[in-house]
A and B are shown apart, each in its own frame.
Chain A
Amino acid sequence: MRYIPNTPDDRQAMLRDIGVSSFEDLLKPIPKSLRLSRPLNIPKGKSEQEVVATMTSLARKNLDAASFLSFLGAGSYDHYVPAAVGDLAGRSEFLTAYTPYQPEVSQGTLQVIYEFQSMICELFRMNAANASLYDGGTALAEAVMLAQSHTRRSRVLWFDSVHPHYRKVTRTLGDPLGIRFDTMPLTDGRVKDAALDSTLDVETAAVVFQYPNFFGLIEHLEPLIERVHAAGALAIVVADPLAMGVLEPPGNWDADIVVGEGQALGNPQSYGGPYLGLFAVSEKLVRRAPGRIAGITRDVDGRRGYVLTLQTREQHIRRDKATSNICTNEGLCATRATIFLSLVGPQGLREIGETCMKNCNYLRNKLSEIPGVQLLFDGLHFKEFVFRLKGDVPAFLEFMAKRDILPGIPLKRFNMGLDDALLVALTERRTADEMDRYADAVRAFLKGSPS
C-alpha cells in the first residue's frame, strides 16, 4: 500500500464528511449482482524488493544485446544512445507531466515539441511535422488515410521494398475505409519507372516508397515521384531519419508525405515498443495532418510562448467528422529524439550515417569473397543488405547462435519469395573485429566445420 497515503483514520473522517456510514454506501449505483464478491485472483501484493527480484529474473531469461552480437534490423536498430538522452528525458518534469493542455505550465513540453517538429522538418526537408504517432507502421497507415481523404481516390500502390509489417498495419486500418492496395513487382529489389507508369491510374491516391528500402538499397526517387505527381497521386516516402545526415532528403524531391520510425534517434529497442512514429507533410497538407502540433504565439505581456495549435482538426471539435483518432502519442520518445538530435548535430548525424554505410559495405564485401554466399540486389546500401547462402537457414542460425551471433532476420517470415535469404543490419556500433568474426563464422559454416 506504499503508493496510497490515506490511513484508515483518514478514510473514516472522510466518509463522515461525505455523509455516509460506510464505503459500501458509495457503491450504491452499482447493482449488487454486479459487485465482485471475492478477491481478484491475482497474487498478494509484494514488497519493492520482491518485485525487483521477480522482474529481474524475468529480464534475465532474455538474451539481450550484451549477450550476443546482433545483426538484426528490419525497423529496430542497435544505435548508440548518448548518456545525456536518458538522463534528461528521464527528469521527472518531462516524465511525469501530462499532455500540455494548460500551456502556461507546460512550456517545457511544448517547446520540446516545437523543436522536435523543426528538427524533423529539417531532416526530411518538409514544411510541417506533428508531435509524433505510435510507430513507423501506424504513421504509414495515417499517411495513406490522409492521401485517400485529400485526393478522394482509393487505390494505393506499393512494393515489397516497403517494410512488410508497415504494410500489414496499413492494410488492417485501410481496408475498412475501402482503400485498395496493390503490390507491384520490383526489379532486382528496386522500383522501375516502367512498372509504375503501367499501373498508375486516375484511381491512385498514393504510391508508397521506402528510403533506403526494406532491403537496405538507396534508390533515386526523384524521377519516380515526378511520375506519381503526373498521375495526380501523392508520393509517400517511408524514410530512415538516421540516414538523413548523408542522403538527399525526400522533401527535396517533392515528396508529399514523409513518415518514418524514430526509434533509431535515441530510443532503446525495447522489444519493439514504445517507438516513435514520424510524420511530416508538405505545405498544402498541414491542415489535414493527424495528431498534435505545437505553435508559437505570444502571451498577454508579449512574450514568446507555445501552445497546441490547429486544434480544429481534432476529434474534440470535429467529433463525427474526425479523420484520425490519435490522442496519446509518443511524447517521451519524441523528447528523446529531440535531445539526441541536439547532441549529434549535423556533423554527428553525417558521421553516424557514413559509418553505417562503411560497415555495411565492409561486411558485404567480405561475404562476397566467400564461395557459397550470394549477395542479392546490387547497388548502394545504407545499413542493411540481403544475402543467401548455400545450406539450410535454420541450421545456419543455430550454428551462429552457438557463437553468440544473431546473424540476421530470415526473410521467410515475410512471405516475399525470398525464403532462403537473410536481412542483415549494421549500425555504427559494429566494429571491424565483430564483422570479421561474422564472416569467419559464415566461412566455417559453409565448410561444414563441427558446430
Chain B
Amino acid sequence: MQNETPLIFELSREGRRGYDAPDSSVQAVGPGLSPELRRKSPPRLPEVSENTVVRHYTNLSVRNHHIDRDFYPLGSCTMKYNPRVNEQIASLPGFASLHPLQPAITAQGALEVMFRLGEALKEVTGLDAVTLQPAAGAQGELTALLMFRAYLTGQGGPRRKIIIPDSAHGTNPASIRVAGYEVVELPSGGDGLLDVEALKRILDEEVAALMLTNPNTLGLFETRIEEIISLVHGIGGLVYMDGANLNAMLGICRPGEMGFDACHINLHKTFSTPHGGGGPGSGPVLVKKHLEPFLPSPVVCRHGERFELDWDRPDSIGHVHTFFGNFGVHVRALAYILSMGQEGMREISETAIVNANYLRAKLSTEFELPFGSPCMHEVVLSGDRQKARGVRTADMAKRLLDYGMHPPTVYFPLIVHEALMIEPTESESKETLDEFIEVMRQINKDSLENPDLLKTAPHTTPVRRLDEAAAARMLDIRYYKD
C-alpha cells in the first residue's frame, strides 16, 4: 500500500526557490506602485527547489492511467494512440512561438496549416465551409446552434425548440440551453434508433433544429437518416450532426451527403490529439453553403499564393474564441491527416468498426446486448445480468482497474441500464482485445462465484474506492482555507 502523496504546498519551505529571475538590466524609473495597489501579502505559492518540483510532478504523473500505458476503451471518448511525431511538430518554434496578432504576412505557414486542415475536413465531411475557432466539441455545438439561430432569424424568426434524442451526450442539451433554446427530448425506439413516428408527432413550426449524433451514442448508425432530415427540413428546421463519432465514418460516408446542415468534429478524438487529462481539444464546425455567411470571423482564405484572415463578415455571429482557436491542435490534426492519407482514413474507420464488432460478438455471450444490429466503432452492453447477482456495472469497472485496464464508459448513454460503453478504436491489436475479453469473462465468472471480490475492487490502485458524496458535502477544493 502506497502512502498518501503530499501536496506541493506541504513540501514548501520558506526561502526555497525553483527559479532564478534574470537580473533586470534596467534601473527603475518613474513612480513606483502606490501602497493601495501593491500586494500586501504574497500569494502563498509553494517555495520549493526545481528538483522538488520535478520529483513531485513525476510522482503524481505515475498515479494516472493513460493510453501509452494500457488499453483505454472509454466509449465516446476515442482514446487512441497519439503519434509521437505530432508533439515534436507542434512544438517547432515556427508554430509554438507565433503571436496571434502578428501580421498575416509573417504567419503564412500557420494560415496555410489552418487552410489545408479546413480543406481536408470539408472533404471528409462532404460539407462546404469551415471554422476552426471552437476550442472543443461542446463549443462547436454551440457555435453551430448560434449560426442556426442567425440563419433562422433571417428566415422569419429564431424559433424556440431544439430536439435531441434521449441518448444524446450531455453537452448537447447544455449547448441548446446556452444558445437560448428549449430542449425537447425524444425517446429512442426499441431498436436504439431515433423514433421517426415520434419525431413526426412533435415537429412543428417552433422547432428550430434537430441535433443528432451519428453513429449515435449507442454505436448505431441512424439508418433512416435521410428521411429524418427531410422531415425536419420540411418544417423549415435545420439538422445538426454531433460529429464526435466521426472515427466510424472516415472515407465510408459523409454527413454532407446525408443532408446535415452542419456538424462539428472533435479533432482531439478522430484526429489524434492527446487528451492531456482533460484538454485542450478543438471542435471545428463544418456547414453547408447557406450557413457560410454566419461563420465566426475571422475566416482563413486563400488569394492566389497568399493566405489571409477575413475579418470583414457582416453576417457573422461574431467570435467564439479570443483568437483563432486551438492552433496547436490544428497542427497535430494536419500532421495526422498527412500521415494517414486517403487510404489510411478509411483504414482507421474499418479497423475501428471491426474491433468494436469483434468485442460485441465475443462479449455478448456473457453480457446483455440491448440492441441487435451490427455496431459501428463502439458497442454498448448492459450489466443487467450481473446486477441481478448483486454486482453493479460500477463494481465491474473498478475490478478492471486491478487488471491495469481502464474501464469502458459506464452509466452512459443514460437509456441503457447498467451501461458499459466500449470503444476499442483502431489502434488496438487483436491480442489486446483478446486479453480484454478474457478479463471481462473472468469478471463475469467472479460475479457468480466471488462477488465480494468485485464489490470491494479496486485492490491494487494507489487509492481505493473514494467517497464522492463526502467530497460534495464537505467541500475541500483549495489548500489554504482562509
Tell yes or no: A443 within 8 A of B by CB. no
> In the assembled complex, how far is the CB of residue A181 from the closest CB belonging to chain B, in whole angstroms?
12
Partner of A63, one of B21, B54, B102: B102
In the complex, the answer to whether A165 meets B323 with C-beta atoms within 8 Å is yes
Q: A1-B347, A138-B322, A171-B318 are in contact. Are A328 and B252 (CB under 8 A)?
A: no
Q: Are the CB atoms of A122 and B66 closer together than 8 Å? A: no
Q: Which of B8, B57, B254 contacts A36 (CB 8 A)?
A: B254
Is the CB of B24 closer than 8 A to any CB of chain A?
yes
Residue of A nearest to B28 (CB): A358
Please tell me if the beta carbons of A62 and B350 are within 8 angstroms of each other in the complex. Answer: no
B461 at the interface (CB under 8 A from A): yes
Give the chain A neighbours of B29 by CB distance below 8 A: 358, 361-362, 365
A399 to chain B, nearest CB (A): 14
Within 8 A of A (CB), among B322-342: 322-329, 331, 334-335, 337-342
A115 touching B7, Cβ below 8 Å:
yes
Interface presence of B234 (CB below 8 A): no
A107-151 CB mask vs B (1 if < 8 Å, else 0) is 111011111011101110101110110111110000001000000
Set of chain A residues within 8 Å of B406, measured between Cβ atoms: 98, 102, 105
Please state if B467 and A118 are interface contacts (CB–CB under 8 Å): no
Contact B253 A34 (CB under 8 A): yes
Residue interface bits A159-170, CB-to-B below 8 A is 1, else 0: 000010110110
**Which of B9, B146, B479 is A172 in contact with, Cβ under 8 Å?**
B146
A310 near B180 (CB under 8 angstroms)?
no
Instruction: Find out whether the CB atom of A95 lies under 8 angstroms from the CB atom of B87.
Output: yes
Could you tell me how many residues of chain B have their Cβ less than 8 Å away from some Cβ of chain A?
207
Q: Which residue of A lies closest to B215 (CB)?
A: A29
A355 touches B99 (CB 8 A): no
Query: Across the interface, which residues of A come within 8 angstroms of B113, CB to CB?
Result: 58
Contact of B374 with A by CB under 8 A: yes
Q: Is residue A370 within 8 Å, beta carbon to beta carbon, of the partner chain?
A: no
B465 touches A104 (CB 8 A): yes
Chain B 100-122 per-residue mask, 1 if CB under 8 angstroms from chain A, else 0: 11110011111011000000100
Q: How many A-B residue pairs have CB under 8 A?
A: 712
B61 engages A93 (CB within 8 Å): yes
Shortest Cβ distance from A183 into chain B, in angstroms? 15
A193 CB, min distance to chain B CBs, angstroms:
15
Q: Does A421 sit within 8 A of B, measured CB to CB?
A: no
Task: Check A297 against B470 for contact (C-beta < 8 Å).
Answer: yes
Knowing A104-B458, A131-B278 are in contact, say whether A307-B468 is a contact too (CB < 8 A). yes
Q: Which residues of A from 45 to 103 have beta carbons under 8 Å from B?
A: 45-46, 48, 50-52, 54-66, 68, 70, 72, 74-76, 78, 82, 84, 86-88, 90-103
Inter-chain contact B274/A62, CB cutoff 8 Å: no
Q: Are B318 and A95 in contact (CB under 8 A)?
A: no
Is B82 engaged at the interface, CB distance under 8 Å to the other chain? yes
Of A199-207, A226-234, A313-321, the one touching chain B: A313-321
Question: Which residues 373-403 in A have Cβ within 8 Å of B in the complex?
Answer: 380, 397, 401
Instruction: Take A44-B341, A98-B77, A99-B278 as given contacts and tell me if A272 and B44 are in contact as well, using a CB distance cutoff of 8 Å.
Output: no
Contact A310/B472 with A41-B123, A305-B466, A324-B178 known, Cβ cut-off 8 Å = yes
- Indicate if the CB atoms of A355 and B44 lie closer than 8 Å: no
Task: Indicate if the CB atoms of B180 and A272 lie closer than 8 Å.
Answer: no
Residue numbers in B under 8 Å from A248 (CB-CB)? 36-40
**Does A210 make an interface contact (CB < 8 A)?**
no
Question: Quick check: is B268 within 8 A (CB to CB) of the other chain?
Answer: yes
Scan B152-182; emit 1 where CB is below 8 A from any A CB, else 0: 0000001000000000001101111111101
Q: Does B43 contact A (CB under 8 A)?
A: yes
B338 touches A172 (CB 8 A): no
* B258 beta carbon closer than 8 Å to chain A: yes
* Residue B296, interface by CB 8 Å: yes
Total interface residues on A, using CB and 8 Å? 212
Contacts of B62 in A (CB 8 A): 93, 108
A255 at interface by CB-CB < 8 Å: no
CB-CB under 8 A from B275, the residues of chain A are 96-99, 328, 331
B475 engages A134 (CB within 8 Å): no
Known A121-B480, A315-B174, A355-B21; contact A84-B428, beta-carbon cutoff 8 A: no
A136 to B, closest residue via Cβ: B322
B325 touches A319 (CB 8 A): no
B280 at the interface (CB under 8 A from A): yes
User: What's the Cα separation between A111 and B463 when bound, in Å?
Assistant: 12
Measured between alpha carbons, how far is A355 from B39 in the docked complex, in Å?
A: 15
On chain B, the residues within 8 Å of A100 by CB distance are 277-278
User: Does B108 lie within 8 Å of A97, measured CB to CB?
Assistant: no
Do A172 and B95 have beta carbons less than 8 Å apart?
Answer: no
- Give Cα A52 to B278, complex, Å: 27
**In the bound complex, how far is the Cα of B390 from the Cα of A191, in angstroms?**
64
Within the assembled complex, what's the spacing in Å between the Cα atoms of A136 and B100? 14
Q: Which residues on the A side are within 8 Å of B28 (C-beta)?
A: 358, 361
A437 to B326 alpha-carbon distance, docked (Å): 33
Partner of A107, one of B42, B87, B397, B462: B462
Q: Return the chain A residue nearest B61 by Cβ.
A: A93
- Find out whether the CB atom of B100 lies under 8 angstroms from the CB atom of A331: no
- CB-CB < 8 A to A358: which residues of B? 24, 26-29
Q: Closest approach, in angstroms, between the C-beta of A18 and any C-beta of chain B?
A: 5
The answer on a CB contact under 8 Å between A328 and B281 is yes
Is A39 within 8 A of B100, CB to CB? no
Return chain A residues, CB-CB under 8 Å to B301. Answer: none
Bound-state CA distance A206–B314 (Å) is 28
A322 interface residue, CB < 8 Å from B? yes
Give, as a whole number of angstroms, the nearest-CB distance from B253 to chain A: 5
In contact, A134 and B139 (Cβ under 8 angstroms): yes
In the bound complex, do residue B412 and residue A316 qualify as a contact, i.e. CB atoms below 8 Å apart?
yes
Is there an interface contact between A269 and B142, defined as CB atoms closer than 8 Å?
A: no
Instruction: Check if B138 sits within 8 Å of A350, measured CB to CB.
Output: no
B85 x A52 contact (CB < 8 A): yes
Asked whether A354 is an interface residue with its Cβ less than 8 Å from the other chain, the reply is yes
- B291 at interface, CB cutoff 8 A: no
A293 within 8 A of B: yes
Q: Which among A41, A93, A218, A332 is the interface contact of B279 at CB below 8 angstroms?
A: A332
Most chain B CB atoms below 10 A, which of A31, A175, A365: A31
Q: How distant is B299 from chain A, measured CB to nearest CB, in Å?
A: 15
Per-residue CB contact flags for chain A residues 345-356 toward chain B (1 = under 8 Å, else 0) read: 111111110110
How far in angstroms is the closest Cβ of chain A from B184?
A: 9
Is B189 part of the contact surface with A, judged by Cβ < 8 Å? Answer: no
Are A274 and B279 touching (Cβ within 8 A)?
Answer: yes
CB pair A64–B45 under 8 Å, yes or no, is no
Q: Quick check: B374 and A26 within 8 Å, CB to CB?
A: yes
| A-B CB contact pairs (8 Å), 18 listed | A17-B358, A29-B374, A40-B346, A45-B342, A45-B344, A46-B339, A88-B53, A100-B277, A104-B462, A106-B277, A246-B33, A274-B279, A297-B468, A299-B464, A322-B170, A344-B45, A413-B311, A432-B25
9 further A-B contacts with Cβ under 8 Å, apart from A97-B277, A138-B135, are A31-B225, A45-B341, A52-B85, A52-B89, A60-B109, A105-B64, A220-B36, A323-B177, A328-B138
